[in-house]
């Protein structure tokens, strides 16, 4: 009985703590990474609001990005190939994924 309660508490905490303490702000989308082995780089955070101020929804949805959190298999390879974020984050429309820029998307 106690064990079940304890396990339940741990599951609940594990779900709440990352939401509360991630550096994502209200309206940001914190990506959930599925691939293992790259935990040293924190998952990317997408500031939706900053983008919505500058672009109409249809610029991204669904031409570049499907309108559902977690539905886009975004990787750095795809970004460097000019897909997803890389359609704009190419050093022309917006800052490129150079070494100094990692923490702008992967906020520690």
Residues found near ligand HEC in the complex (CB under 6 A) = 29, 31, 33, 35, 38, 41, 43-44, 46-48, 50-52, 54-55, 57, 59-61, 64-65, 67-72, 74-76, 79, 84-85, 87-89, 93-95, 97, 99, 101-102, 104-106
Peptide bond into 62 cis (omega under 30): yes
Say if residues 85 and 105 touch (Cβ distance below 8 Å).
yes
The Cα diameter of the chain in Å comes to 59
**Shortest Cβ distance from residue 21 to ligand HEC (Å)?**
17
Of residues 11 and 67, the one with the C-beta less far from ligand HEC = 67
3-state secondary structure of 78: helix
d(CA 106, CA 97): 11
Of residues 13 and 38, the one with the C-beta less far from ligand HEC = 38
Backbone angles phi, psi at 18, to 5 degrees: -65, -30
Of residues 15 and 71, the one with the C-beta less far from ligand HEC = 71
Of residues 16 and 62, the one with the C-beta less far from ligand HEC = 62
d(CA 102, CA 58): 27
**Shortest Cβ distance from residue 2 to ligand HEC (Å)?**
36
């Amino acid at each position: 009985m106690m064990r079940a309660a304890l396990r339940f508490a741990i599951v609940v905490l594990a779900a709440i703590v990352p939401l509360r303490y991630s550096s994502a702000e209200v309206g940001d989308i914190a990506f959930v990474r599925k691939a293992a082995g790259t935990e040293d780089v924190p998952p990317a955070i997408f500031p939706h609001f900053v983008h919505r101020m500058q672009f109409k929804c249809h610029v991204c949805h669904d031409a570049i990005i499907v309108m559902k959190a977690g539905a886009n298999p975004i990787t750095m390879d795809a970004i460097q190939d000019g897909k997803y974020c890389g359609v704009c984050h190419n050093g022309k429309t917006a800052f490129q994924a150079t070494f100094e820029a990692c923490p702008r998307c992967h906020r520690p």
